[in-house]
A and B are shown apart, each in its own frame.
Chain A
Amino acid sequence: MWPYILRNLLQRLVLLFIVSVIAHGVVHLAPGEPTEVDPSNPRMKPEDIVKIRKAFHLDEPLHLQYAYWMRDLFSGELKSFKDSQPVLPKIWDRFLNSLPLFILATIIIWTLSFPTGIHAAVRRGSVYDRSTTFIAYTLISVPGFFLSYLAILWVVSVLGVPVIGMRTFGMEDALPLFRGMDRLWHLVVPSLMTALGGIAVLSRYVRSQMLEVIGQDYVRTARAKGLPEDQVIYRHALRNALLPFVTMFGFLLPGLIGGSVIFEQIFAWPGLGRLGYDAILSRDFPVILTINFIAAALTLAGTFMSDLLYAAVDPRIRLH
């Protein structure tokens, strides 16, 4: 077990290194530098550009720039090009903003997908099954921002719930209770919209996984023994169908960054995705690279965790 874990960790560190080198290459080799964000600014003279390039080490060869980036990242000295703020605290603040959105969306996805998927599998071919299948495909196929705009229009005109930003402006002096409620209201619509696609995908996956297990011999045996149907489904079938989902917890982590750009943009949510978007717009290389680095690290950590979890739940799997 331990040799496996060590070897795996080492492999993942190598992968992370390669990912960071590629990301660094893509960002630096692509045309467009921070100095060119505002080319029409008449006060920007060639000697200023030289000065800026020197200050940001942009005039050095690529491998040196990579070394500077890594050194600053791990010593915590990395500064944003845009406002010279340290990058890590900046990302941490935004991460804390993204976290509640992510957690609530995840809870919604997992609590809704399982009953939907299981029910559809048990009544395969019924009206319920066919209609949830169709709805799931529709939710996968609709552009996220199209649906979100409709939801905003509907929610604002019918329910009068605030939907933009994290809190209502001017509520800073209100009682903590009201502030908390305000935060919660702001959270509801964005997290629901973020969750919809996930519900569609996961409930389909639950359905197919359940169908697979229900067709197995041991389920037939359980039925043949005369067990009540509920016990067959929830004791014998569901427990086996759940196995792959344990590992999916690992794959959730990267969703914190990648999936949120669009929704945070729509709902003016000051989270990580928007930080990345703004950084891309202003060619803020340290922020782009660091967000990318953290996202890759989270992905690798996620798949690593899912491997371990799988071994922990499924006694048939031995890591060596």
Chain B
Amino acid sequence: MAEALRNMQGESDKAAQSMTHETPFEEFWKLFKRDRLAMVGLGVLVLLLFMAVAGKALTEWWVVFDPAAVNLVDKFKSPFSQASALVPADVRPLAGIYLLGTDELGRDVFARMLQGSFVSLSIGFVAVGISVFIGILLGGLAGYYGNLRLGIMTVDTLIMRFTDVMLSFPTFFLILTAVALLPPSIYNIMIIIGITSWMGTTRFVRAEFLALREQDFVVAARAMGLPERRIIFLHMVPNAIAPVLVSATIGVASAILTESALSFLGFGVQPPFATWGNILSDGKGFIFDAPWLFFIPGIAILVVVLAFNLVGEGMREALNPKLRRR
């Protein structure tokens, strides 16, 4: 009896412990798992990441699928069709079958999509990386050193007015102008998308920093005489990062869409790089003769962007303190 009681006691202690010692991440994960759409999205993203890495490996380092091989005998082959016998052995697709068909130059669409998945994803990640970096830097400066005076205005006023200036630009038109005037290069596109989309992050981070600056743990850290660099990067940034991650996830989605829109207008990533955006915009001319050239990249973009958006929204919901308390 006493044994059983002690056991029960132990159980309830353990339960109490797990209630109180749940890390923020575990709590987040529990809420996130409930959202089935977001979980499906996460699955798609994991698959995509794998595909992108495999795509990079298989099309560049160990060429199984050659996205640049032109086989004019095999142009406009529909998906799952056999390669012609005239195609030389070194550029034949795996098992002699074009999984997703070929385009107007007889290039293997599957190989191009594989290569494109890496390029499209890296455009999304690099652009968002740049915008998050600028956003945290400026938002952190405005939030932490906001009261510092520089001549006639405070740091906060300076940075936030600059953010207002950037918000007044018609973003897509600005991106279009810059991309069109600069020499065509995939890096320019990444950088331009990045430096025109940091404003939201700056505002989040500034608001979080303003709130965090007054909190006890920051005051305590300051009282302990920690260097400011340490307070900012080890104590404050991790606490302000949640809304940034949400907007970054959704930002990757919109960067991929922006790239495809630029490709449609003819200012996208130039050959020899294949991205899903330029496969789609090249495919639009063959919508009747070779519909797979249009539908495969279109649906691929839709699924991936949708997955990013769903995961982003799922994260936003799971991080929402109002839902947490319930």
Give me the interface of A with B, judged by CB distance under 8 Å: 15-16, 18-19, 22-23, 26-27, 30-32, 133-134, 137-138, 140-146, 149, 153, 215, 254, 257-259, 261-262, 265, 273, 276-277, 280-281, 283, 288, 291-292, 295-296, 299-300
Give the distance in Å from the alpha carbon of A153 to the alpha carbon of B178 in the complex: 33
Give the distance in Å from the alpha carbon of A162 to the alpha carbon of B147 in the complex: 60
Give the distance in Å from the alpha carbon of A133 to the alpha carbon of B170 in the complex: 28
Check if B2 is an interface residue, CB within 8 A of chain A.
no
Between B37, B161, B173, the greatest number of chain A beta carbons within 10 A of the residue's beta carbon is seen for B173
The contact sample of 12 A-B pairs, CB cut-off 8 A, is A22-B169, A26-B177, A27-B177, A30-B181, A32-B182, A138-B302, A146-B294, A262-B261, A273-B173, A277-B265, A292-B169, A292-B170
Q: How far is the CB of B314 from chain A (nearest CB, A)?
A: 11
Q: How far is the CB of B151 from chain A (nearest CB, A)?
A: 15
- Asked if A15 contacts B287 (CB within 8 A), the reply is no
Residues from 261 to 301 in B contacting A, C-beta threshold 8 Å = 261, 264-265, 277, 280-281, 284, 287, 294, 298, 301
Residue of B nearest to A299 (CB): B168
- Asked if A27 contacts B181 (CB within 8 A), the reply is yes
Q: How far is the CB of B227 from chain A (nearest CB, A)?
A: 35
Main secondary structure of the interface of B (DSSP, over half): helix
- Asked if A23 contacts B313 (CB within 8 A), the reply is no
- Asked if A137 contacts B310 (CB within 8 A), the reply is yes
- Asked if A254 contacts B170 (CB within 8 A), the reply is yes
Q: How far is the CB of B13 from chain A (nearest CB, A)?
A: 35
Q: How far is the CB of A242 from chain B (nearest CB, A)?
A: 21
Q: Identify which of B173, B177, B257 contacts A143 (C-beta below 8 A).
A: B257
Beyond A142-B302, A153-B287, whether A18 also contacts B177 by CB under 8 A is no
Q: How far is the CB of A301 from chain B (nearest CB, A)?
A: 10
Give the distance in Å from the alpha carbon of A300 to the alpha carbon of B253 in the complex: 27
Give me the interface of B with A, judged by CB distance under 8 Å: 37, 161, 164-165, 167-174, 176-178, 180-183, 253, 257, 260-261, 264-265, 277, 280-281, 284, 287, 294, 298, 301-302, 305-306, 308-310, 313, 322
- Asked if B284 contacts A31 (CB within 8 A), the reply is no
- Asked if A143 contacts B265 (CB within 8 A), the reply is no
Give the distance in Å from the alpha carbon of A146 to the alpha carbon of B168 in the complex: 28
Contacts of A277 in B (CB 8 A): 176, 265
Beyond A15-B168, A30-B181, A257-B170, whether A137 also contacts B176 by CB under 8 A is no
- Asked if A149 contacts B287 (CB within 8 A), the reply is yes
Contacts of B37 in A (CB 8 A): 133-134, 137
- Asked if A288 contacts B305 (CB within 8 A), the reply is no
Beyond A258-B173, A276-B173, whether A15 also contacts B284 by CB under 8 A is no
Contacts of A292 in B (CB 8 A): 169-170, 173-174, 177
Give the distance in Å from the alpha carbon of A22 to the alpha carbon of B178 in the complex: 12
Q: Identify which of B172, B281, B284, B308 contacts A259 (C-beta below 8 A).
A: B172
Contacts of A144 in B (CB 8 A): 261
Q: How far is the CB of A179 from chain B (nearest CB, A)?
A: 31
Give the distance in Å from the alpha carbon of A153 to the alpha carbon of B298 in the complex: 15
- Asked if B180 contacts A280 (CB within 8 A), the reply is yes
Beyond A30-B182, A261-B176, A280-B180, whether A141 also contacts B306 by CB under 8 A is yes
- Asked if A31 contacts B182 (CB within 8 A), the reply is yes
- Asked if B165 contacts A23 (CB within 8 A), the reply is no
- Asked if A15 contacts B164 (CB within 8 A), the reply is yes
Q: How far is the CB of B128 from chain A (nearest CB, A)?
A: 16
- Asked if A26 contacts B260 (CB within 8 A), the reply is no
Residue of B nearest to A21 (CB): B165
Q: How far is the CB of A130 from chain B (nearest CB, A)?
A: 8
Contacts of A296 in B (CB 8 A): 168-170
Q: How far is the CB of B296 from chain A (nearest CB, A)?
A: 11
Give the distance in Å from the alpha carbon of A290 to the alpha carbon of B152 in the complex: 31
Give the distance in Å from the alpha carbon of A26 to the alpha carbon of B170 in the complex: 14
Contacts of B280 in A (CB 8 A): 143, 146
Q: How far is the CB of B188 from chain A (nearest CB, A)?
A: 10
Contacts of A295 in B (CB 8 A): 169-170, 173
Contacts of A276 in B (CB 8 A): 173, 176
- Asked if B169 contacts A19 (CB within 8 A), the reply is yes
Contacts of A262 in B (CB 8 A): 261, 264-265
- Asked if B284 contacts A288 (CB within 8 A), the reply is no
Beyond A15-B168, A292-B169, whether A146 also contacts B178 by CB under 8 A is no
- Asked if B261 contacts A137 (CB within 8 A), the reply is no
Q: Identify which of B170, B178, B265 contacts A265 (C-beta below 8 A).
A: B265
Beyond A137-B310, A300-B168, whether A146 also contacts B176 by CB under 8 A is no
Contacts of A141 in B (CB 8 A): 253, 257, 301-302, 305-306, 308-309
A-B complex: 9 closest residue pairs judged by Cβ atoms: A30-B181, A258-B170, A141-B305, A295-B170, A141-B306, A146-B298, A296-B168, A280-B180, A299-B168
Beyond A19-B165, A292-B170, whether A143 also contacts B261 by CB under 8 A is yes
Give the distance in Å from the alpha carbon of A265 to the alpha carbon of B261 in the complex: 11
- Asked if A283 contacts B181 (CB within 8 A), the reply is yes
- Asked if B182 contacts A15 (CB within 8 A), the reply is no
Residue of A nearest to B179 (CB): A280
Beyond A153-B287, A261-B176, whether A143 also contacts B298 by CB under 8 A is yes
Give the distance in Å from the alpha carbon of A22 to the alpha carbon of B164 in the complex: 13
Q: Identify which of A143, A257, A258 contacts B302 (C-beta below 8 A).
A: A143
Contacts of B161 in A (CB 8 A): 15
